[in-house]
């Protein structure tokens, strides 16, 4: 098993049952980034937040 497989497995373990907490953390991180950049990249930050939430939800439901 490669390094990335191990990282994915560990992330999946951490996310299982906690996707709501991950979603909250992603939201807070995006808000902080928006604040620090003056909202200059808010559309890109919003897209990244949604994608990260989708991935977390997918990993949570995968197992």
Average pLDDT over all residues of the chain: 88
* Best CA proximity match to 15, nearest among 60, 51, 47, 54: 60
pLDDT of residue 22: 87
Confidence of residue 1 (pLDDT cuts 50, 70, 90): low
pLDDT of residue 35: 95
pTM (two decimals): 0.74
Domain ranges across the chain: 3-62
- How long is the chain? 63
Using CA atoms, how far apart are residues 22 and 56, in angstroms rounded to an integer?
7
pLDDT of residue 55: 86
């Amino acid at each position: 098993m490669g390094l990335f497989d191990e990282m994915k497995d560990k992330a999946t373990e951490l996310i299982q049952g906690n996707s709501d907490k991950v979603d909250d953390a992603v939201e807070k991180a995006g808000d902080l980034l928006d604040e620090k950049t003056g909202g200059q990249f808010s559309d890109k930050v919003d897209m990244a937040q949604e994608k990260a939430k989708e991935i977390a939800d997918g990993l949570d439901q995968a197992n």
